[in-house]
Amino acid sequence: MGDRWHVEVDRSLCIGSAQCLHHAPDGFRLDSARQSHPVDPDTDANERVLEAAESCPVEAITITLGDNGEPVFPPEE
């Protein structure tokens, strides 16, 4: 069975650049204030969502493992 991920967007950081939507159009949406939201904060592990997090210019997207909260992105130092 694959991992489950918990995805969050820190809206104090998000600048609405929409790279995350480019990489994962099904994973994120922008609200009317151009703030990104995960479509499904609790999702199966998904390469596109990881690419979206990696692409964010302000690292507003964090991914943790659903079962134990360990970091997926950004990775632990």
Q: What is the contact surface with ligand SF4 in residues (CB under 6 A)?
A: 9, 14-20, 36, 56, 58, 60-61
As measured in angstroms, the least distance from the Cβ of 5 to ligand SF4 is: 15
Q: Which two tokens stand for residue 40?
A: 């499904």
Nearer to ligand SF4, 12 or 67 (CB): 12
As measured in angstroms, the least distance from the Cβ of 34 to ligand SF4 is: 7
Nearer to ligand SF4, 2 or 75 (CB): 75
Q: Distance between the two ends of the chain, CA-based, in angstroms?
A: 27
Strand order in the sheet with 61-65: 42-44, 4-9, 61-65, 71-73
